[in-house]
Structure 1
Amino acid sequence: MDIKLRSLKNQDKTYFFSWLRDQDVIRYSLSIFQNMKTHEDISLWFDNILLDNSTYNKAIFDNSTGNLIGYAGICNLSKTNLSGEYFIFIGDKDYHNKGIGTYVTKEIIKYGFENLNLNRIMLTVSNENIGAVKAYTKANFKQEGVMRQASYRDGKFHDKIIMGILKDEWKNN
């Protein structure tokens, strides 16, 4: 696979229509995804992403097939604290559990430290999302804490793990 990151484009929106309606794909994703049911909901959300200058967003693109497979980036950027929150969403299930999450995570945090001049990048992840926890650990994120029963999916509560990486830790790896 030839995975590349590029800017999100308006025509990428069409991929999200099917992804955000697939319960397997959105199970551990943003809570907002759980409530988006119509084309209009998804379209409005996507249009706002394209207009949001306070978030670093990148499309995850398979250069060998020409398909968009997801998006990732850093939101909640703080110029005061030199920090942000990492996110990734791989919508195409054919690309799950193939190491793409680890690769993309490393590329995004590299950009965050080198180009956005961040000192700290954090994330939260459901403890049930074993693949994501592994990917973040491989990208050198460290567990910092647990928010007990912070996520409600599939009729039960799940803990959310808080993970972070500091620029000094990243430089030394």
Structure 2
Amino acid sequence: MKIKLRDLQLSDKEHFFSWIKDKEVIRYSLSIFQKMKDNNEISNWFDMLLLEKSSYNKAIVDDTEKKLIGYAGIAQISETNLSGEYFIFIGNKSYHGKGIGTFVTKEIINNGFQELGLNRIMLTVSEKNIGAIKAYTNANFKTEGVMRQGFYRDGKFHDKVIMAILREEWG
């Protein structure tokens, strides 16, 4: 399997319909995903995503199978502070737990520092999302703190871990 990143395209939208409706896939994902129920809401969100100027969005593709499996990037890019917030969403469940998160995280971080000229890239992650925390740690993210009970899923509050990587720590 060969993973590559490319620009998101309008034709990628159709994949998100089934992914976002799958509770298992979105369990630890964006809060907005928890609220979207139909294709129209998902379509509107995706259209806005393509127009977003303060985000760096890339499609994650299994190049061997020529199949879209998710997307990742950096949101809320501040040109003033040279910072942004990393995100990744692997919508195709058959690719979970295969080390793709670590690979993609490292690629996006490289692009954030090289292409975008950022100094700091942060993220937040549920303490229950052990696989993601492992991927972020493997990509040299450092834990900065905890947002106590900052995450609510499955009828329970969980802590949200704040992690970041600085340009001087990357490489």
Mark yes or no: TM-score above 0.5: yes
SS of 1:86's equivalent in the other structure is: strand
CA distance in 1, matches of 2:79, 2:15: 32
Runs of 4+ in 1 over 4 A off after TM superposition: none
In the alignment, structure 1 residue 97 sits paired with structure 2 residue 97: yes
CA distance in 2, matches of 1:147, 1:52: 27
CA distance in 2, matches of 1:58, 1:72: 5
CA distance in 2, matches of 1:7, 1:113: 18
Could you tell me the TM-score, scaled by structure 2's length?
Answer: 0.99
2:69–2:91 Cα contact (<8 Å) kept: yes
Amino acid at match of 2:63: N
Amino acid at match of 1:107: E
CA distance in 2, matches of 1:48, 1:103: 27
CA distance in 2, matches of 1:123, 1:51: 22
| Matched residue, 1:39 | 39
Amino acid at match of 1:9: Q
**TM-align CA RMSD:** 0.5
Shift, 1:50, TM fit: 0.7
- Where structure 1 has 5 or more consecutive residues not aligned to the other structure, the ranges are none
Could you tell me the TM-score, scaled by structure 1's length?
Answer: 0.98
| Matched residue, 1:158 | 158
| Matched residue, 2:19 | 19
SS of 2:84's equivalent in the other structure is: strand
CA distance in 2, matches of 1:29, 1:14: 18
| Matched residue, 2:112 | 112
**Superposed CA offset, 1:88-123 (max 9, x none):** 000000000000000000000000001100000000
**Superposed CA offset, 1:98-152 (max 9, x none):** 0000000000000000110000000000000000000000000000000000011
| Matched residue, 2:126 | 126
Shift, 1:85, TM fit: 0.3
| Matched residue, 2:87 | 87
2:54–2:77 Cα contact (<8 Å) kept: yes
- The share of aligned pairs that are identical, in percent, is 69
Amino acid at match of 1:49: L
CA distance in 2, matches of 1:83, 1:51: 20
Amino acid at match of 2:60: I
- Aligned residue pairs, count: 171
Amino acid at match of 2:17: F
Amino acid at match of 1:72: A
| Matched residue, 2:77 | 77
Shift, 1:73, TM fit: 0.2
Shift, 1:66, TM fit: 1.1
2:141–2:163 Cα contact (<8 Å) kept: yes
